[in-house]
Amino acid sequence: MNYLKTAMLLAALTALLVVFGGIFGGRHGAVIALALAGVMNFVMYWWSDSIVLRMYGAKEAAEADAPALFASVRGLALSAGLPVPRVYIMDQEAPNAFATGRNPAHAAVAVTTGIMNLLTNDELRGVLSHELAHVRNRDILIATVAATIAGAISYLSHMAYYAAIFRGGRDDDDRGSNPIVAIVMMIVAPLAAAVIQMAISRSREYGADAGGAAISGSPLSLANALRKLDFYNRRMPMEEVSPATAHLFIVAPLSGASMLRLFSTHPPIEERIKRLEAMALAGR
Protein backbone atom coordinates (compact mmCIF):
# COMPACT_ATOMS: atom_id res chain seq x y z
CA MET A 1 0.00 0.00 0.00
CA ASN A 2 2.84 2.42 0.82
CA TYR A 3 4.44 1.77 -2.57
CA LEU A 4 1.09 2.60 -4.21
CA LYS A 5 0.88 5.84 -2.22
CA THR A 6 4.42 6.70 -3.26
CA ALA A 7 3.56 6.15 -6.92
CA MET A 8 0.48 8.35 -6.54
CA LEU A 9 2.52 11.13 -4.94
CA LEU A 10 5.12 11.03 -7.70
CA ALA A 11 2.37 11.07 -10.33
CA ALA A 12 0.80 14.09 -8.61
CA LEU A 13 4.15 15.88 -8.63
CA THR A 14 4.53 15.13 -12.34
CA ALA A 15 1.10 16.58 -13.10
CA LEU A 16 1.82 19.66 -11.00
CA LEU A 17 5.11 20.31 -12.76
CA VAL A 18 3.53 19.95 -16.20
CA VAL A 19 0.75 22.39 -15.22
CA PHE A 20 3.29 24.93 -13.97
CA GLY A 21 5.38 24.47 -17.11
CA GLY A 22 2.34 24.99 -19.31
CA ILE A 23 1.31 28.16 -17.45
CA PHE A 24 4.69 29.80 -17.75
CA GLY A 25 6.03 28.33 -20.98
CA GLY A 26 3.15 27.01 -23.01
CA ARG A 27 3.51 23.67 -24.77
CA HIS A 28 7.29 23.96 -24.83
CA GLY A 29 7.33 24.66 -21.09
CA ALA A 30 5.09 21.65 -20.40
CA VAL A 31 7.47 19.35 -22.30
CA ILE A 32 10.46 20.67 -20.35
CA ALA A 33 8.52 20.28 -17.11
CA LEU A 34 7.65 16.67 -17.97
CA ALA A 35 11.33 15.88 -18.50
CA LEU A 36 12.17 17.64 -15.23
CA ALA A 37 9.49 15.62 -13.45
CA GLY A 38 11.06 12.38 -14.66
CA VAL A 39 14.41 13.42 -13.23
CA MET A 40 12.86 14.56 -9.95
CA ASN A 41 10.86 11.34 -9.54
CA PHE A 42 14.02 9.28 -10.03
CA VAL A 43 15.96 11.39 -7.55
CA MET A 44 13.19 11.38 -4.94
CA TYR A 45 12.77 7.62 -4.98
CA TRP A 46 16.46 6.83 -4.72
CA TRP A 47 17.86 9.77 -2.77
CA SER A 48 15.03 11.44 -0.84
CA ASP A 49 16.51 10.08 2.40
CA SER A 50 19.87 11.70 1.66
CA ILE A 51 18.15 14.97 0.82
CA VAL A 52 16.30 15.05 4.16
CA LEU A 53 19.38 14.07 6.17
CA ARG A 54 21.37 16.81 4.45
CA MET A 55 18.61 19.34 5.17
CA TYR A 56 19.19 18.87 8.90
CA GLY A 57 22.95 18.64 8.77
CA ALA A 58 22.85 15.01 9.94
CA LYS A 59 26.28 13.41 9.95
CA GLU A 60 26.77 9.67 9.75
CA ALA A 61 28.36 8.55 13.00
CA ALA A 62 31.04 5.95 13.55
CA GLU A 63 30.60 3.45 16.34
CA ALA A 64 33.56 4.98 18.18
CA ASP A 65 31.69 8.30 18.30
CA ALA A 66 28.69 6.91 20.19
CA PRO A 67 29.24 3.29 21.25
CA ALA A 68 26.20 3.15 23.57
CA LEU A 69 23.92 4.48 20.83
CA PHE A 70 25.26 1.96 18.31
CA ALA A 71 24.88 -0.89 20.80
CA SER A 72 21.24 0.05 21.38
CA VAL A 73 20.47 0.34 17.67
CA ARG A 74 22.16 -2.97 16.90
CA GLY A 75 20.42 -4.85 19.70
CA LEU A 76 16.99 -3.42 18.92
CA ALA A 77 17.36 -4.08 15.19
CA LEU A 78 18.16 -7.70 16.02
CA SER A 79 15.06 -7.91 18.23
CA ALA A 80 12.95 -6.40 15.45
CA GLY A 81 14.35 -8.77 12.82
CA LEU A 82 15.75 -5.88 10.78
CA PRO A 83 19.11 -5.09 9.17
CA VAL A 84 21.08 -2.66 11.33
CA PRO A 85 20.34 0.84 9.97
CA ARG A 86 22.89 3.58 9.48
CA VAL A 87 23.12 5.97 12.42
CA TYR A 88 23.18 9.76 12.02
CA ILE A 89 23.59 12.53 14.59
CA MET A 90 22.21 16.06 14.21
CA ASP A 91 23.95 18.85 16.11
CA GLN A 92 20.72 20.25 17.57
CA GLU A 93 20.01 21.12 21.19
CA ALA A 94 16.30 20.33 20.79
CA PRO A 95 15.67 16.64 21.55
CA ASN A 96 14.17 14.72 18.62
CA ALA A 97 14.70 11.82 16.22
CA PHE A 98 13.46 10.37 12.93
CA ALA A 99 14.00 7.43 10.58
CA THR A 100 14.29 7.57 6.81
CA GLY A 101 15.20 5.40 3.83
CA ARG A 102 13.42 3.66 0.97
CA ASN A 103 13.27 0.21 2.63
CA PRO A 104 14.62 -1.67 5.69
CA ALA A 105 17.82 -2.58 3.85
CA HIS A 106 18.57 1.10 3.19
CA ALA A 107 17.27 2.67 6.40
CA ALA A 108 18.82 5.31 8.60
CA VAL A 109 18.03 6.53 12.10
CA ALA A 110 18.90 10.12 13.01
CA VAL A 111 18.98 11.55 16.53
CA THR A 112 19.86 14.99 17.85
CA THR A 113 22.61 15.61 20.36
CA GLY A 114 19.90 17.04 22.59
CA ILE A 115 17.98 13.77 22.80
CA MET A 116 21.16 11.87 23.65
CA ASN A 117 21.85 14.25 26.52
CA LEU A 118 18.28 14.40 27.82
CA LEU A 119 17.01 10.83 27.91
CA THR A 120 18.06 7.89 30.02
CA ASN A 121 19.36 4.83 28.19
CA ASP A 122 16.02 3.03 28.56
CA GLU A 123 14.10 6.05 27.28
CA LEU A 124 16.41 6.44 24.30
CA ARG A 125 15.93 2.74 23.54
CA GLY A 126 12.19 3.40 23.52
CA VAL A 127 12.64 6.19 20.97
CA LEU A 128 14.93 4.09 18.79
CA SER A 129 12.43 1.22 18.94
CA HIS A 130 9.68 3.58 17.77
CA GLU A 131 11.81 4.57 14.76
CA LEU A 132 12.66 0.96 13.99
CA ALA A 133 8.94 0.16 14.08
CA HIS A 134 8.48 2.78 11.35
CA VAL A 135 11.20 0.99 9.38
CA ARG A 136 9.56 -2.41 9.89
CA ASN A 137 6.12 -1.02 8.99
CA ARG A 138 7.66 0.52 5.84
CA ASP A 139 6.39 3.97 6.74
CA ILE A 140 9.70 5.62 5.99
CA LEU A 141 9.57 5.68 2.18
CA ILE A 142 6.19 7.37 1.93
CA ALA A 143 7.05 9.79 4.75
CA THR A 144 10.35 10.82 3.18
CA VAL A 145 8.97 11.16 -0.35
CA ALA A 146 6.04 13.22 0.97
CA ALA A 147 8.50 15.52 2.73
CA THR A 148 10.59 16.11 -0.37
CA ILE A 149 7.54 16.60 -2.58
CA ALA A 150 6.10 19.16 -0.17
CA GLY A 151 9.45 20.93 -0.29
CA ALA A 152 9.38 20.84 -4.09
CA ILE A 153 5.89 22.37 -4.08
CA SER A 154 7.14 25.17 -1.86
CA TYR A 155 10.07 25.76 -4.21
CA LEU A 156 7.70 25.85 -7.20
CA SER A 157 5.57 28.46 -5.46
CA HIS A 158 8.61 30.72 -5.08
CA MET A 159 9.52 30.22 -8.73
CA ALA A 160 5.98 31.09 -9.78
CA TYR A 161 5.94 34.14 -7.53
CA TYR A 162 9.13 35.65 -8.94
CA ALA A 163 8.25 34.68 -12.50
CA ALA A 164 4.90 36.45 -12.15
CA ILE A 165 6.55 39.54 -10.69
CA PHE A 166 9.10 39.60 -13.52
CA ARG A 167 6.38 39.21 -16.12
CA GLY A 168 4.18 41.80 -14.42
CA GLY A 169 7.09 44.25 -14.26
CA ARG A 170 7.22 44.32 -18.06
CA ASP A 171 3.51 45.05 -18.39
CA ASP A 172 2.07 48.53 -18.70
CA ASP A 173 0.97 50.09 -15.43
CA ASP A 174 -2.70 50.14 -16.45
CA ARG A 175 -2.75 46.38 -16.83
CA GLY A 176 -2.39 45.83 -13.08
CA SER A 177 -0.71 42.94 -11.31
CA ASN A 178 -0.58 39.45 -12.71
CA PRO A 179 -3.48 37.40 -11.25
CA ILE A 180 -1.31 34.25 -11.27
CA VAL A 181 0.58 35.62 -8.26
CA ALA A 182 -2.57 35.76 -6.15
CA ILE A 183 -3.77 32.36 -7.31
CA VAL A 184 -0.45 30.65 -6.62
CA MET A 185 -0.12 32.21 -3.18
CA MET A 186 -3.67 31.15 -2.29
CA ILE A 187 -3.36 27.49 -3.25
CA VAL A 188 0.25 26.44 -2.73
CA ALA A 189 0.46 26.34 1.09
CA PRO A 190 -2.85 24.43 1.50
CA LEU A 191 -1.77 22.14 -1.35
CA ALA A 192 1.52 21.31 0.35
CA ALA A 193 -0.34 20.59 3.59
CA ALA A 194 -2.90 18.46 1.74
CA VAL A 195 -0.17 16.36 0.12
CA ILE A 196 1.24 15.49 3.52
CA GLN A 197 -2.13 14.97 5.18
CA MET A 198 -3.24 12.60 2.43
CA ALA A 199 0.00 10.63 2.53
CA ILE A 200 0.68 10.55 6.25
CA SER A 201 -1.94 9.11 8.56
CA ARG A 202 -1.79 9.94 12.26
CA SER A 203 -2.49 6.29 12.94
CA ARG A 204 1.04 5.44 11.82
CA GLU A 205 2.38 7.07 14.99
CA TYR A 206 0.14 4.93 17.18
CA GLY A 207 1.29 1.88 15.24
CA ALA A 208 4.95 2.82 15.65
CA ASP A 209 4.44 3.45 19.38
CA ALA A 210 2.89 0.00 19.82
CA GLY A 211 5.51 -1.64 17.63
CA GLY A 212 8.32 0.19 19.39
CA ALA A 213 7.01 -0.85 22.81
CA ALA A 214 6.98 -4.47 21.64
CA ILE A 215 10.52 -4.25 20.26
CA SER A 216 11.98 -2.69 23.41
CA GLY A 217 9.71 -4.57 25.79
CA SER A 218 9.10 -1.38 27.79
CA PRO A 219 6.04 0.73 26.91
CA LEU A 220 6.66 2.98 29.92
CA SER A 221 10.16 3.88 28.75
CA LEU A 222 8.74 5.21 25.49
CA ALA A 223 5.89 6.95 27.36
CA ASN A 224 8.38 8.69 29.64
CA ALA A 225 10.51 9.68 26.65
CA LEU A 226 7.51 11.17 24.84
CA ARG A 227 6.57 13.17 27.93
CA LYS A 228 10.07 14.66 28.14
CA LEU A 229 10.35 15.29 24.41
CA ASP A 230 7.00 17.07 24.28
CA PHE A 231 7.91 19.26 27.26
CA TYR A 232 11.28 20.34 25.85
CA ASN A 233 10.14 20.80 22.24
CA ARG A 234 7.35 23.13 23.34
CA ARG A 235 9.94 25.33 24.99
CA MET A 236 12.85 24.76 22.64
CA PRO A 237 11.65 24.03 19.08
CA MET A 238 14.20 22.79 16.58
CA GLU A 239 16.03 25.38 14.50
CA GLU A 240 15.21 25.86 10.81
CA VAL A 241 12.63 23.09 10.55
CA SER A 242 10.37 23.12 7.50
CA PRO A 243 6.70 22.30 8.20
CA ALA A 244 6.96 20.04 5.14
CA THR A 245 9.25 17.65 7.04
CA ALA A 246 7.80 17.99 10.55
CA HIS A 247 5.91 14.70 10.23
CA LEU A 248 9.18 12.75 10.08
CA PHE A 249 10.08 13.42 13.72
CA ILE A 250 8.91 11.38 16.72
CA VAL A 251 7.35 14.51 18.25
CA ALA A 252 6.28 17.70 16.49
CA PRO A 253 9.39 19.93 16.26
CA LEU A 254 7.44 23.12 15.54
CA SER A 255 5.58 23.69 18.80
CA GLY A 256 4.54 27.30 19.02
CA ALA A 257 4.93 27.90 15.27
CA SER A 258 2.01 29.41 13.43
CA MET A 259 2.03 26.75 10.71
CA LEU A 260 1.97 23.81 13.12
CA ARG A 261 -1.78 23.21 13.02
CA LEU A 262 -1.87 23.32 9.23
CA PHE A 263 0.83 20.65 8.95
CA SER A 264 -0.08 18.68 12.09
CA THR A 265 0.43 14.99 11.41
CA HIS A 266 1.15 13.92 14.98
CA PRO A 267 -1.63 12.68 17.26
CA PRO A 268 -1.84 14.27 20.74
CA ILE A 269 1.06 13.27 22.97
CA GLU A 270 -1.35 12.75 25.87
CA GLU A 271 -3.24 10.10 23.90
CA ARG A 272 -0.03 8.37 22.83
CA ILE A 273 1.17 8.22 26.43
CA LYS A 274 -2.22 6.97 27.61
CA ARG A 275 -2.12 4.10 25.13
CA LEU A 276 1.41 3.13 26.09
CA GLU A 277 0.54 3.16 29.80
CA ALA A 278 -2.47 0.95 29.05
CA MET A 279 -0.14 -1.47 27.24
CA ALA A 280 2.14 -1.57 30.28
CA LEU A 281 -0.80 -2.32 32.61
CA ALA A 282 -2.11 -5.03 30.30
CA GLY A 283 1.31 -6.66 30.20
CA ARG A 284 1.66 -7.02 33.97
| DSSP label of 244 | G
Helices (H), 81-138: 113-118, 121-136
Q: How far is CA 189 from the centre of its chain?
A: 16
Start-to-end CA span in the chain (Å): 35
Closest CA to 208 of 129, 152, 143: 129
CA distance 21 to 27: 8
Which residues share a beta bridge with 98?
110, 249
CA distance 88 to 242: 19
Element (H, E) at 269: helix 269-282
Strand segments, DSSP code E, in the chain are 59-60, 86-90, 97-101, 107-112
CB 234 within 8 A of CB 96: no
Tell me the catalytic residues.
Answer: 131
Which residues share a beta bridge with 112?
90
What are the C-alpha distances in Å from 17 to residues 37, 200, 255, 264?
6, 22, 32, 25
Q: How far is CA 39 from the centre of its chain?
A: 21
Q: Is the dihedral of CA 27, 31, 33, 37 positive or negative?
A: positive
